[in-house]
Every structure is written in structure tokens, then in C-alpha cells.
Structure 1
Amino acid sequence: MPDQASMNPSDTPTATAHKVLIDSYGRRIDYLRLSVTDRCDLRCNYCLPKGFKGFEEPDHWLTFDEIERVVGAFTRLGVRRVRLTGGEPLLRRDLPILAGKLSALPGLQDLSLSTNATQMARQALALKAAGITRLNVSLDSLQGERLASIAGRDVLADVLAGLDAAAAAGFAPVKINMVVQAGVNDDEIDAIVAYCMERGFILRLIELMPVGDTGRTAQYLDLQAVVANQAQRLGLIASATELGGGPARYWRSQDGRFTLGAITPISQHFCASCNRVRLSVDGTLYLCLGQDDKLALRPLLRAGIDDAGLEAAIVGAIGRKPERHEFREQPDKIIRFMSATGG
């Protein structure tokens, strides 16, 4: 196999030749995480520092037409899953219009959304009608004061109302993402398990990643023992069923009514099977969350690149995707915040 990292875009196979993105380590890339804004209405202590104002100017954001062009190029290259992220994606005005454009693209099989759900109660029906089927919702605590301490303001009632609206609108599955911090909310896992079991939600426990100063100073907890204890307590069995194409490993109850997932980028990384890249709101294609390898697509789009050139640029970038992150070896390496990268 030729070294794709050394190829020029003009030397790389086009979409019509192979219809698939393979990096230089043989991994198929079929999942794009698309940030539609770097703004957020929360200031979670592991994501954005209080008082942060260094957001991208709206003129630097990709327009809906530009996003549709880029995602169209990815789908022609074999990407089948797209997740809308932020920041908080529901802060992007007219998001259901964009979702409708993307869900209509040939080849796209799965359009999902990651959100904190503070704005979900008033948008759930429009988002579902636009073609979004699955949701990931951040919920780190069911205690109002504790969640306010983590997220920067009192939002528990809004989040729970958003989850009720999502369930009523028919989103399935709804996954609850709990970032577990030692000494902060790790005593609340049983309570959130019970909440998810009662409502039919999937719970995913997530290890902190040292992305930006906020991520490095938060209270990391290795989740291996936590997951093992929950599996034993609830009688869960490991599941080989893929639930969305992401990095989580899953365990199910024997009656199939509850699923627990774990995302463990530090204690048990999943780089060997990585199938995703991230596109930030300013059009920067990040090839690895834990590395700085990237491709700036906005200048190409605004310089008038044609579809064939856009596809060739993407294929060339995928050939430079790193083998793995270095969060353990170089925890200070990534200085950008998670919201600037895309969730």
C-alpha cells in the first residue's frame, strides 16, 4: 500500500475511484463529527474556563451552504455517519434547516446530535422532523447545586425538561453522557443509572481527557473498576452490538432493558479502531482529538475549490491522520479547548 502521507492531493484516488476513506494505518474513516458553533451556554469545569471570550467570529464560521458542500464531499467518499456538535449546537440559529439539508444528502445513513439539552424543549420536534434520529445528552449530576457547580449555572430543570421533550418527540436511542470526576460526582453513578433505567436511556460513563487547561486540571478518574463494579452489581454482560459507530464499549442487562457504555480514552484507548475526524465551526478538519494534525478547509472553499479538488484535499488529509493520541505521554500537548475542536 503506498504511503498516503507522502501523496500529493493530485496523486490521490478520487471518490469515484474508491468511495471509501482509508488512512495510512488501514482504518476506514466513516464518521464525521461536525461542530456548528464553538459557543456554549454553559461553562463546564472540564471544557471552558469561566470568563472565556476567545470564540471564533461569526464571519469565520462555515455557512450552511459551505457545510453542506463539505459533508457532501465526505459522504461521496464513504462517510455514512455525521454528528452535529458544538459548543452547544442548539445555539446555532436555524439548526433544523441545516439538519434537513444534511439528512437529504445521498449516502448519509445516520445524522445525530450531541447537546446539553438546555434548549431542547423548544426544538425537539423540529430537529426530529429535520432528520436527526439519535441524541447524546450531557448530564453530569442529578443534584441541582452540584450540576450548577460543574456547569457554571443552574440548568438541571431545563436539561430534564429537554430530555422529556426528546423522549416525547421519539428520539431513539437517547444516550446520557456522564463525565465522571473523582471526588466531584463519582458518588452519583448509581443514581444516574437508576434514572436512565427508569426512562429507557442508555448511560455512558466518560473519562476526562486533558484537552486544554480546563481538561488537565479537572479530577480524572480511571473508569475500569467503576464499570466492572456496575456490571457485577447489575448483572450486565458485554455487548458486541455497535451503537452508533463511536468509541464506546457497552454492557447490557440480561433482559435487554438497560445498556451501560464506557468511553475510556486514557485507561483503555481505542485509537487502533478510530473511524472519525472532526470539523470545527471555522472549517478546520482535525484528524485526531489528541494531536494537532489538521487541514484548513475554509480558505479552500472561499477560494473557489471545485468538488473534485475538495475531495482530493480531504483524501490527502486522511492520509496524514496520526496513529494515536499521546494524552498519557504528553498531557500538556493540546492547548485548544474542547469547544474549539468539536465535541
Structure 2
Amino acid sequence: MTHLVRFLKKARVALRMHRRRPTFVSFNVTNRCNEACPMCSIWRDEGEDLPLAEIERIFTDLRRCGFLVSELSGGEPFLRPDLFEVFKVLDRLGFLYTLTTNGTLVTGEQIERLSDARGLLQLAVSLDSLRRDTYRALRGCDLLPDVLNTLDRIAAAPPPQPVKLNMTLSRLNYQEVFDMIRYARARGFFLSVFPVSLGGGFEHRADHPQFRASSGELREMATVFVELSRLKKEGAPLWEYSGFYEKAAGYLLQRPMGPCGAGELFVDLHSDGKLAPCIDLPTCADLRQESAAAALARMKTQSERIRSCSGASPCCYTCSYNISLTAEHPVRFVLENARRTVKLWVKKPKA
């Protein structure tokens, strides 16, 4: 994909976002995972994976409805042997897409093959801690050395797409944030930081006792996000729009979050083809059995449930409020990213 074509596609995405039109579909390519994060329940239900033919049919239908970007995750996507075939399907259909992995299974050959994924916008690797004991507590497995080895290989021979680290912030790791920024900067990576979303009964919520922070810890974590907002405005290698970090600080202090774009700007596609307004709400359609247009029409009947969720039990995911805030403030988002890019050009990362 030429730079001009990619730029035009991104411009179209930005315009559609600003108009609050359906644009993003998060897709769990598989529920299977080799980790057992207590903050996530997807790995507890392996379910079934859509075959390639069904993925192509469903995404063809979603494309007709205006969806342009897919966020590919899991589970662990690299447990799916035909993952690169999924990329080819999305490339044929003209989608842009991102990929999130825990980084424990990625081989050097697979890193090289990412160059062939024409629509890939970014590679995200989950890294919640640089301390082995803390990583084990947060991810349910003692696999930190594997992730760091993968990141060393990526830094030595980076793919053409930006690489970012995903850090879910909690009372166990918030004091590591600035070490993580330095780690990311030294390797030419970006850092994405978002607070763990508390509460049971959801796919990405944590009700484990280890996440129950005191009021003092919540205030300290909120202060971290306020500082991240300031650093982003100065050009630090942080991924999100600065307003998201301000929103995250408010979330930790239990301030109202306001409406998000669930079911309107973005939807969540499960590994078995069922569709939900977002990763935190129940499915309300099945794209194996009905068209995307019919599913989106039914999605409109979920508006009261979506409003209730954002008011009574909000989350603070980057796939919800970051996208929503970016859609509201596209110019500020572009200017912040331009400042970040200039800093990267002026000062190359150290080896």
C-alpha cells in the first residue's frame, strides 16, 4: 500500500469518526490464550473460531456498512495458525487493522512477515510490568522473559508499522509507568496506558482482590494519568490522545465518564461471529445468521442499555473512550501526534 493510499484511507477514517458513523470493529480472532490474566475472562471460554470463509463473508458485509478499521485481538491471536491468512482477507477487502498480542509466541519469521500485511496500522504488545513477580501476578503466567525476548527482536529489526506497548494500570504496577516510558523510548516504541476496569460479570473487568485499591492508591494513580496527559502534550512516546489520560484520571476518582461510541462508532465481534455494542456488553446479534445491516438496526435498540452502562458502570478502555475522544477532537489529536513524530525524527532512540 502506497503512502498516499494509506493517507487517504486514514483521512476517510478520521472523517467518518468525526461524523460518528460506524467505523471500528474489534474482533477476537480466537478466545484461546496461553496466559490467564485475572483482569480478563475471555480465556476461560475457548468457544469456537470463525473459519476463514466466514470471516471473509462477514467482513465483506461489514465493509458494505461502512466499517473501515478492525482491531484484532484475542485471546492470543498467534495461537491461530491461519492468522496471516486473516490479514490477507482484510487486505483484499481494503480494511485497515491493528494487532494486539501478548508477545510470548511471536517468532522472528512472523515479525518479518508483518511487512506483507498491507493494512496493518500498528502492532501492540501487552506488557504490564518489567518486574517478573508483578508480571506473573498480572498475567497469570511466568512468561516475562519470553515477552522481553520478542521485544528485543522487534527493536533490532522493527516492522514497518509502529509498535506500542499496552500497559493496564492497577495498584500493582502504577509506580512503574515512568520506567515503562523510558523502556519504550529507548527501543523506538510507543506506550499505551489505561486503568484496569473494575467489577465482575464482564469480559474485561477485574473483580480479583489484588486490584482493590485504597482511596489513597486511586488518587495516586489518577495523578499518574494527569502527568501522562502533560507528557503527551510535550511529545512523549505515548499513544493516546491527551484527553484520554485526563478522562482516565477522572475514572479513577469516580467522576462521570459521559457517553461513549459503543454500538455507534464501534462494535465488538466475538470469535464465534456474535456481535455486541462493545466488549463489556452482551451480544445482541449473530452475523453468521443475519446481515450486518440487520444487526446494526437491532443495535439501535440497545441505546438505553449503552447509556446505562456509561452512566452507572463505565469502563475506561482505549477501544471506547480513546476512540470517542479522538473523534471529538481530531485536530488536537493530529497536532499532538505531529509533535511526537517530530521528536522521534530529531532524536533517534538509543540502542
Task: Using structure 2 for the length normalisation, give the TM-score.
Answer: 0.69
Q: Distance between the aligned counterparts of 1:281 and 1:288, measured in 2?
A: 14
Amino acid at match of 1:276: F
Check 1:101–1:133 CA distance in 2 against 1; reply closer, same or farther (3 A cut). Answer: same
Amino acid at match of 1:228: V
Whether the aligned pair in 1 keeps the contact of 2:232 and 2:241 (CA below 8 Å) is no
Q: Distance between the aligned counterparts of 1:87 and 1:299, measured in 2?
A: 24
- In the alignment, does 2:183 pair up with 1:195? yes
- In the alignment, does 2:113 pair up with 1:126? yes
SS in 2 for 1:118: coil
Whether the aligned pair in 2 keeps the contact of 1:209 and 1:215 (CA below 8 Å) is yes
Q: Distance between the aligned counterparts of 1:65 and 1:156, measured in 2?
A: 35
Q: Which residue of 2 aligns with 1:329?
A: 312
Check 1:293–1:100 CA distance in 2 against 1; reply closer, same or farther (3 A cut). Answer: closer
- In the alignment, does 2:216 pair up with 1:216? no
C-alpha displacement of 1:64: 0.9
1:283 corresponds to which of 254, 261, 273: 273
Q: Distance between the aligned counterparts of 2:247 and 2:154, measured in 1?
A: 23
1:113-133 CA distance string (max 9 Å, x none): 011111123422223323334
Q: Distance between the aligned counterparts of 1:86 and 1:152, measured in 2?
A: 16
- In the alignment, does 2:137 pair up with 1:149? yes
Gap regions ≥5 residues in structure 2:
1-15, 315-351
SS in 2 for 1:47: coil
Amino acid at match of 1:229: E
Q: Distance between the aligned counterparts of 1:87 and 1:117, measured in 2?
A: 12
Q: Which residue of 1 aligns with 2:102?
A: 116
SS in 1 for 2:242: strand
1:255-280 CA distance string (max 9 Å, x none): xxxxx967739456463445211100
Amino acid at match of 1:79: F
Aligned residue-pair number: 281
- In the alignment, does 2:159 pair up with 1:170? yes
C-alpha displacement of 1:209: 1.7
Check 1:271–1:92 CA distance in 2 against 1; reply closer, same or farther (3 A cut). Answer: farther
Check 1:54–1:291 CA distance in 2 against 1; reply closer, same or farther (3 A cut). Answer: closer
Gap regions ≥5 residues in structure 1:
1-21, 252-259, 301-309, 332-343
Question: Cα RMSD over matched residues?
Answer: 3.6
Whether the aligned pair in 1 keeps the contact of 2:286 and 2:295 (CA below 8 Å) is no
Q: Distance between the aligned counterparts of 1:280 and 1:238, measured in 2?
A: 37
1:100 corresponds to which of 70, 83, 88: 88
Q: Which residue of 2 aligns with 1:14?
A: none
Amino acid at match of 2:225: V
Q: Distance between the aligned counterparts of 2:284 and 2:183, measured in 1?
A: 39
Q: Distance between the aligned counterparts of 2:298 and 2:130, measured in 1?
A: 42
Percent of aligned positions that are identical: 28
Check 1:271–1:68 CA distance in 2 against 1; reply closer, same or farther (3 A cut). Answer: farther
C-alpha displacement of 1:160: 1.7
1:26-59 CA distance string (max 9 Å, x none): 731101111111111111121149xx75421x4x
Check 1:315–1:152 CA distance in 2 against 1; reply closer, same or farther (3 A cut). Answer: closer
Q: Distance between the aligned counterparts of 1:286 and 1:156, measured in 2?
A: 32
Q: Distance between the aligned counterparts of 2:276 and 2:181, measured in 1?
A: 33
Check 1:72–1:164 CA distance in 2 against 1; reply closer, same or farther (3 A cut). Answer: farther
C-alpha displacement of 1:312: 2.7
Check 1:179–1:329 CA distance in 2 against 1; reply closer, same or farther (3 A cut). Answer: same
Check 1:228–1:311 CA distance in 2 against 1; reply closer, same or farther (3 A cut). Answer: closer
Whether the aligned pair in 1 keeps the contact of 2:30 and 2:46 (CA below 8 Å) is no
Q: Distance between the aligned counterparts of 2:245 and 2:111, measured in 1?
A: 24
Amino acid at match of 2:226: A
2:25 corresponds to which of 16, 32, 36: 32
Check 1:209–1:196 CA distance in 2 against 1; reply closer, same or farther (3 A cut). Answer: same
C-alpha displacement of 1:71: 1.0
C-alpha displacement of 1:282: 0.8
1:271-318 CA distance string (max 9 Å, x none): 344521110001110113333252122244xxxxxxxxx243233134
C-alpha displacement of 1:94: 1.6
Q: Which residue of 2 aligns with 1:297?
A: 287
